[in-house]
Chain A
Amino acid sequence: MPFIANFPFFCILITMFGGILTSMVNGKWAFRINTVIITATLVLNGTLLMFLIKDPQYFTFMMGHYPAPWGNEIRFGPLEALMGTVFSFVTLCSLISGKDEVFHDVKPRNLHYFYIMINLLLSSLFALIYTNDLFTAYVFVEINTICACAIVMAKENGKTLAATLRYLIMSLLGSGLFLLSIVLTYDITGQLLMVPAHEAFQRIFATGEYQIPLTIILGLVCVAMAIKSALFPFHTWLSHAHGSATTASSAILSGLVLKGYIIMLIKIIVRVVGLEVVVQLKAVNILFVMAVLAMIIGSLDAIKENHIKRMIAFSSVAQMGYIYMGIGLGNMAGLIVACFHIIVHAITKPMLFSSAGGLASASGHKKDFASLKGAAYRNPIAAAAFLIGSLSMIGIPFFAGFGAKYYLSMAAIGMGAKMWVVLFALAVSTVLNAIYYIRVISIIFSKTEGEVVERHKNAPSYTFAMTVFIIVNVLLGLFYQPVMDVITVGMGLL
């Protein structure tokens, strides 16, 4: 095994150790340590990705001296490395761009706790991406839940506390259902590692034994992950939690935390239960219906909204619908599109949140539309980022979101009735997306007559992070084919 195969393990370990180390320093040093550690994970993941693109293969890494099924294991290929790279990149950029707001919103004595949470959140996301063990996944889901709630809570006021409580209850419900499904899986297969469990599931499905527990397990996993990633009927916590948290938290929660669970679900579908079994048990159809509803209702909610961050949060509900629609198609092409849209949304949504934060801080930290009028002239770089992000989310050609929509409709072709539903839902939700994004654009670009524009002074780190975000978004919009190739190769090996 080459030395490079140690990199995911290093990523998980240094982010966890970073969290532990951060507890001993003050807020400023916590930020510095955090930046160094996340940059290191970005370099490690990026190197691994380059290596795996050149030579696509899957590595199995034993955590300890015992091979599967006795010891813990992580297992990774091009897809996981790609996700890891995107996740560390997005965390880094969101934190750098949101630094000033974090220092403004979070009490100084709580600052280092905030960065502890970010570190451990990232480590849990890495673990969810890389792990090959269902129970390890559960342990890190726990860490993820607590950290995610804590970074919402970091900005202490009545609204965030209420939002955190709501989020905590829903999130724990999801964790509980996931734990139940793992217990049932262990009971009928006797395995916790994914690959041995897959063999056991294939056997069970072939013999027809334990058919009902198998269905229930699948249902529990789907519902648990749907709650965790705010699919339509379970989305009510999202707008409060993401809308009221500090900008960096909203960016990370919306861009990454939701995605970690979807990647887990895709891994469970493909690597543990098997795609054919899932399709035959009709679990994907339920996800498909919920996804269509999420696309429409999330957008309608966003139109009603009058607070820029909550609007972006509701837009996330609709975008989750796109991802679940890809899963709900029940074919390999659909899963590949789902992964691609995870990347598109993970890169675009944090940029939108960061730019909304920038626009708001140029308007006296107010986030309602009336205060944001003409904000584009006060903070041009944030406005440019917002423009590009919203065009991408609407799905204008040459922006990243277009690629996702295009491949989604391509994946639906030949699926019979599902194809028409997909095409119709895509058309409707594109129009709805356009309504609320263009509205915000027109508000921030409309100048009041005779108003003297005062340029907001951005921190250099904010300008830098937004520039990087914009460049990456434009590049992803122009050259999405290589990314799709990596995902296709990775999915084939998963």
Chain B
Amino acid sequence: MKNNRYITAFKRFMDGETSFEPKIKETEARRESTHKEKSISERYAVWHDKNGYKLFKRAYVAIGCLIAGCIIATLLLTVSYLPPYGEAGNPVNNEVTERYIEKGMEETGAVNIVAGVILDYRAFDTFGESCVLFVAACSVMMLMKKDKKGKKEEELQNYNPKRDPVIKQLAMVLVPFNLMLGIYVVFNGHLSPGGGFSGGAIMGASLILFSSAYGYRRVRPIFTEKLIKIVTFVSLTFYAVAKGYSFFTGANHLHSIINPGTPGRIMSAGIILPLNIAVGFVVTMTMYSFYALFTKEEI
């Protein structure tokens, strides 16, 4: 019993060595072995070494495509069973949308119903959504930011190739207008289509345009990591405090100092305007820091 292979294997297993390691394949030896009668298992092993991976990869792709195709077909089939688009009797045309459309302006003070829904009726979701942006920016910083000493100035030049004069001139004309448009979209979020997310995206895009046309050096003195952090922090804190107050008073049926004001005025719609500004800042900073981190691994 002493030399029983099962007992030895068990002892080795309990000692922490895995007994499931595949046998060492002596591929070369197998191929070169000149035995006339190869056993089936040997022949299989040679064939497996030769074609196994290729075959597996092909089968993998084929099965993957098949499964994906099935899922696509099922989902498309499901769509055909859904209520037809735009009919009055659809389930989505119920008391929920009715109140948003009919009373939205009166209750939230926002002419833009969408702004009223996302920043007042369902503001908690939007807070979550701006936290998603914050978290995403943080993870990218965590992953992409290199140590400060790691980079020299010459290396950074690689990210700063010679700029085309056409792009420079074009950017000079476009960037101010783009920024203005972004600010307008943010500030008019409660009056016309737009809001923090779209306006922030426009502002971020114009920053990216400026930085790619004129090089990082013109942007870096202003947009440091510290500024981005502080702006994001202040905006999100403002959002958390303002909405926290609003949720707290709403849930406990307390009197809230926030009032909708006169719809149509710029200073109306309660806190939707400041919230839009906060969201706009967060989006701008996130977009710019994504660009900076992905192109040159630092801000």
Contacts and interface: CB of A to CB of B under 8 A. Distances in A.
Contacts of A9: 247-248, 251
A90 to B, nearest CB: 21
A139 interface: yes
A114 B51 CA distance: 45
A236 interface: no
B127 A64 contact: no
A157 interface: no
A235 B167 CA distance: 49
A124 B251 CA distance: 20
A54 interface: no
B166 interface: no
A69 B95 contact: yes
A493 interface: no
A150 interface: yes
The secondary-structure label for the interface of chain B is: helix
Nearest to B16: A369
A180 B247 contact: no
B224 interface: no
Interface stretch (A187-195, A281-289, A315-323, A395-403): A187-195
Contact of A64 (B16, B18, B81, B247): B247
Interface in B3-45: 13-18, 20
Contacts of A370: 16-17
Count class of interface residues, chain B? 35 or more
Interface stretch (B55-63, B134-142, B201-209): B134-142
Given A120-B131, A139-B132, A146-B136, A65 B250 contact: yes
Interface stretch (B154-162, B179-187, B229-237): B229-237
Interface string B117-141: 0001111110111011011101101
B256 A187 contact: no
A64 B124 contact: yes
B247 A443 contact: no
Given A109-B147, A186-B92, A370-B16, A6 B251 contact: yes
Contacts of B92: 186-187, 190
Taking each of A23, A127, A154, which has the highest tally of chain B beta carbons within 10 Å of its own beta carbon?
A23
B78 A143 contact: no
B81 A143 contact: no
B69 interface: no
Interface in A32-76: 61-66, 69-72
Interface in B78-100: 78, 81-83, 90-97, 99-100
A117 B139 contact: yes
Interface string A1-42: 101011001000100110111011000000000000000000
Interface string A85-124: 0000000000000000000000001100110110010010
Nearest to A114: B142
Given A23-B232, A154-B142, A304 B20 contact: yes
Contact of B122 (A1, A71, A120, A212): A71
A61 to B, nearest CB: 5
Nearest to B126: A139
Contacts of A5: 251
A386 interface: no
Taking each of B75, B93, B123, B138, which has the highest tally of chain A beta carbons within 10 Å of its own beta carbon?
B138
B81 A136 contact: no
A442 B14 contact: yes
Given A117-B135, A150-B135, A150-B142, A210 B81 contact: yes
Count class of interface residues, chain A? 35 or more
A142 B75 contact: no
A213 B81 contact: yes
A7 to B, nearest CB: 12
Contact of A70 (B99, B138, B142, B236): B99
B193 interface: no
A306 interface: yes
B93 to A, nearest CB: 7
A19 to B, nearest CB: 7
A430 B44 CA distance: 37
Contact of B93 (A188, A190, A373): A190
Contacts of B128: 127, 136, 139-140, 142-143
Interface string A299-313: 000011110000000
A3 B90 CA distance: 40
B190 to A, nearest CB: 16
Contact of B250 (A64, A140, A188, A306): A64
Nearest to A153: B143
Given A153-B142, A153-B143, A188 B17 contact: no
B155 to A, nearest CB: 19
Nearest to B15: A443
Contact of B131 (A16, A61, A109): A16
A449 to B, nearest CB: 14
A143 B251 contact: no
Interface string A442-484: 1100100000000000000000000000000000000000000
A13 B16 contact: no
Given A190-B97, A216-B78, 6 more contacts: A1-B251, A20-B237, A21-B237, A187-B83, A190-B94, A305-B18
Interface of A: 1, 3, 5-6, 9, 13, 16-17, 19-21, 23-24, 61-66, 69-72, 109-110, 113-114, 116-117, 120, 123, 127, 133, 135-136, 139-140, 142-143, 146-147, 149-150, 153-154, 156, 180, 184, 186-191, 200, 210, 212-213, 216, 303-306, 368-370, 372-373, 439, 442-443, 446
By Cβ-Cβ distance, the 6 closest A-B pairs, closest first, are A369-B16, A139-B128, A65-B250, A72-B124, A190-B91, A150-B139
28 contacts: A1-B251, A5-B251, A6-B248, A9-B251, A13-B247, A19-B135, A20-B131, A20-B134, A20-B233, A24-B233, A62-B251, A64-B247, A113-B138, A127-B128, A142-B132, A187-B92, A189-B91, A190-B94, A190-B97, A200-B91, A210-B82, A210-B83, A212-B81, A216-B74, A306-B18, A370-B17, A372-B16, A373-B15
